[in-house]
Structure 1
Amino acid sequence: MKKYIVRNSKQLASFLMILSSLALLQSITNYANAKIISSVKPIGFITEAIASGVSDTDILLPDGASPHTYSLKPSDLAKLKSAELVVWVGEDMETFMPTILKSIDKQKQIELMAIPEINALLRTSHDDEDEDNHSHDESVQDHHQHGEYDEHIWLSPEIAKIVAQSIHDKLIKLYPNKSALIDENLNKFNIKLAETEQNIAKKLITVQNRGYFVFHDAYGYFEARFGLKKLGSFTINPAVQPGVQKVYSIQQKLKEHQAVCVFREPQFSPAVIEKLVDGTDVRIGELNPLGTGIALSKDAYSQFLLKLTQQLLDCLDKN
């Protein structure tokens, strides 16, 4: 590498300008390389599995950010506008997306909630047990603000297969000369996912009868698939704090020893949880529905599901 010797202030200013230009060029290059943008990390994991070796991928939301409360930055807008494909869930999940996506060609988007095969598998944004824990007004308010359906669709292995297929089909059109590799990536993803599902089912069978509460009603697809015993959630929409009646109802159930764990999330850790379990044998665990800390790779989606499984076991499986 050539060494630069700075002899005076003019040369220093010139040198700094060159460095600045190189940094800007690198930034532009990075945006250009990230041809496929996924809104949230777990969807990005699936995208990377299918696009690996075909195109560079990137994820819009950084670790620690919630799709419920995120605000787009100028750099995010640049990424979205330069992308060849944007994969996102839907307007009730990523409320920040529809406005900017109006200026982007529909052919360059995959809105997962609009896919009929996924739509047929959707669950409502709260289950029957949770309905019992809501006052009517609270339930209506949460529904209004968070949509009719549960859009945490990446927590369903069955829906994940449809997501992968949809990304595959779009990539075949974008990169027809790489169709063999795209086919191979999809096949490997489906095989790995089937193995992971079997592994998780075996791991969780021992805790299926152990009741728990979650802070945020985000895990319904996963719980239904693996037969878990969620007793309820503090809130449907994490932007809406749980009401007094909800907290009291959960407190009564904890006193009646119906639950062994209460799970919080790294994005939302309300103090009310610690107060509720105080004086009881109920443990506090942590669930991460967004894959925080998992690096983007071909196998990241399976790693994500397995990590969630381990987080459940760490709390539920203690004697």
Structure 2
Amino acid sequence: MLYYHIIPLSFIDEISVMMKRKGHLPKIIAGIAMIVGVNSASQADVVTSIKPLGFIAAAIAQGVTPVKVVLPDGASEHDYALRPSDVRLIQKADLLVWVGPEMESFITRSASQLPINKNLELTALPAIHSHLVGEIEDDHDHDLSDRDTLSSSNSTDREQSDSHSHQGTYNMHIWLSPEMALLSATAIHDRLVQSMPAEKAKLDRNLSQFTVNLEHADKEIRQQLMTVKDKRYYVFHDAYTYFEQHYGLSPLGYFTVNPEIQPGAQKLHEIRTQLTEHNAQCVFAEPQFRPAVIDAVSRGTQVKKGTLDPLGTNISLSQDSYVKFLLQLSSQYLSCLKPMN
């Protein structure tokens, strides 16, 4: 974003005089640096904890200010450890956008060191908090014998790998809810208007455009998924409740499986039994699962294999990236649930 500043004629005259004298080049350079410094200071960098929040922020900040994401592609928000460069990025942020400590515990300490006006914890906002549902208390049957996380002998590793499922009260995957995505976009808009009032008109237009794009995508996705609403399936991770409820999908449940650990023989038998007894059409993994895990749990069944990407790892930040993310997720459901011709 370019900002233009009016330079007094007296300053220009002074530069002209200094250019005619010897030894004044450093002063000229310093004067130019001062102007550039003012320009860069006017720009407020937005930093988000995870990529889907970056999608939303990028739509609102388009043409106003850059957006950067802390969590690298391929990493998990549940067990990531900040690098020194991440800490510096957060410290320099003019606005940090994150879900909350139950989701991104790795960012809690750094976020707490920011001023309140630079720290946007989305689930702490009453409008968003009122839409949260419990981790277990939802409309789907998740009372499965194999719901516990596969464990190693190290209890600390277990807690870190599945902290979001057992330490929190609510399902914190708010970016998978179109309603909460719009509320998040509005909150980001309001904070940026506070810090950059001169950009209010552009921020208003961006929010309006985001709202229109989201409404169009929502209608398209609803029509697409209408054809598979009655198809039954399992997911490995309870991230999709908001998306599933919004579009009326019919999951049988989820297996909270640690993708870093190969399921044992007993665990594989339990999962295969669940898939067969409940006549599941598909079992969905996520990009971080090794193919061998999915092959193992589906072997000996007629269940199709699919992949859901809850972080949009292959999508770049842009004004329409959140809509692309929702449409991609819908296509991933359809690819496994839609009957083959």
- The TM-score by the shorter chain falls in which range? 0.7 to 0.9
| Runs of at least 5 residues in structure 2 that lack an aligned partner in the other structure | 1-39, 150-158
- 1: CA distance between counterparts of 2:106 and 2:201? 35
- In the TM superposition, residue 247 of structure 1 has moved relative to its aligned partner by 5.6
The alignment's TM-score, normalised by the length of structure 1, stands at: 0.83
Q: Is residue 232 of structure 2 the alignment partner of residue 211 of structure 1?
A: yes
Q: Say if 1:34 and 1:79, in contact at 8 Å, map to a contact too.
A: no
1:91 aligns to what? 101
- Provide the secondary structure at the position in 1 that maps to 2:143: helix
2:198 aligns to what? 177
Q: Is residue 130 of structure 2 the alignment partner of residue 120 of structure 1?
A: yes
Decide whether aligned partners of structure 1 residues 279 and 131 sit closer, same or farther in structure 2, where only a CA change above 3 A counts: closer
- 1: CA distance between counterparts of 2:52 and 2:322? 6
Identity of aligned residues (%): 47
What is the aligned residue count? 290
Decide whether aligned partners of structure 1 residues 236 and 191 sit closer, same or farther in structure 2, where only a CA change above 3 A counts: farther
1:298 aligns to what? 319
Decide whether aligned partners of structure 1 residues 179 and 128 sit closer, same or farther in structure 2, where only a CA change above 3 A counts: closer
- Provide the secondary structure at the position in 2 that maps to 1:232: strand
Q: Say if 1:146 and 1:237, in contact at 8 Å, map to a contact too.
A: no
Q: Say if 1:36 and 1:86, in contact at 8 Å, map to a contact too.
A: yes
Q: Say if 1:135 and 1:245, in contact at 8 Å, map to a contact too.
A: no
Aligned match of 1:39 in 43, 49, 73? 49
The alignment's TM-score, normalised by the length of structure 2, stands at: 0.78
Q: Say if 1:234 and 1:246, in contact at 8 Å, map to a contact too.
A: no
1:132 aligns to what? 143
Aligned match of 1:147 in 154, 165, 168? 168
Bigger Rg, which one: 2
Equivalent position amino acid for 2:112 in 1: K
2:88 aligns to what? 78
Q: Is residue 304 of structure 2 the alignment partner of residue 283 of structure 1?
A: yes
- 1: CA distance between counterparts of 2:174 and 2:122? 9
Q: CA RMSD in A?
A: 2.8
- 1: CA distance between counterparts of 2:238 and 2:257? 5
Q: Is residue 56 of structure 2 the alignment partner of residue 56 of structure 1?
A: no
Q: Say if 1:234 and 1:242, in contact at 8 Å, map to a contact too.
A: no
Larger deviation, residues 196-205 vs 242-251: 242-251
Q: Is residue 218 of structure 2 the alignment partner of residue 197 of structure 1?
A: yes
Decide whether aligned partners of structure 1 residues 183 and 135 sit closer, same or farther in structure 2, where only a CA change above 3 A counts: same
**After superposition, where does 1:220-259 map in structure 2 within 5 Å?**
220-235=241-256, 249-256=270-277, 258-259=279-280
Q: Say if 1:146 and 1:236, in contact at 8 Å, map to a contact too.
A: no
| Runs of at least 5 residues in structure 1 that lack an aligned partner in the other structure | 1-29
Aligned match of 1:167 in 188, 193, 197? 188
Deviations 1:217-255 (A, max 9, x none): 100000000011111111188789989987655422322
